[in-house]
Amino acid sequence: MSKKILVIDDDPIIVKYLVTLFADNGYETCSASDGAVALDVVNAERPDLITLDLEMPHEWGPRFYRKLTKDDSLKKIPVIVISGLSGEHAIKDAVAFIKKPFDPDKLLGIVKKSIG
C-alpha cells in the first residue's frame, strides 16, 4: 500500500505540481488550500506526511501546525514546510524547511527518508 501525502498550499499551481510530483513517484495524495480546511482533511485522510505552506488565507501554517500537534493521534505525522517565507523558526519540529522555489529531487529525498 502506498504512503499518502497531504499537500497544504493556497497556490493551485504549487498544489498541482506537488500532487503530480508525488503521484509520479508512487505516493497517494490529497490536498487542502488553507489551514482551516486542512485539519478536516487530515482527520478524513490520515496522511503519512504533510507538506505545509506558511502563508495562506484564513489560517496560516503555524496555526494549523499548533492544532495538529495538540491532537495525540495526529501529532506524530511528519511535516515538511515548503514556503516562500523565511520562517524556519515558525515550526521548529518540522522534518525539513524548504524555501520556494525548491529542488524537486531534494524534496523527494526528504520524503523518502521520512516515510519511505
CA angle 23, 99, 53 (to 5 degrees): 65
Backbone angles phi, psi at 36, to 5 degrees: -65, -45
End-to-end CA distance of the chain: 12
- Strands (E) located in the chain: 4-8, 28-32, 49-52, 79-83, 96-99
Tens of pLDDT, residue by residue, the chain (116 residues): 699 999 999 999 999 999 999 999 999 999 999 888 999 999 999 999 999 998 887 887 888 999 999 999 999 999 999 988 776 666 778 999 999 999 999 999 999 999 98
Q: Which residues form the domain of 93?
A: 4-115
Res 89: pLDDT: 61
Number of compact structural domains in the chain: 1
- The pairing of beta strand 79-83 with beta strand 49-52: parallel
**pTM over cut 0.85:** yes
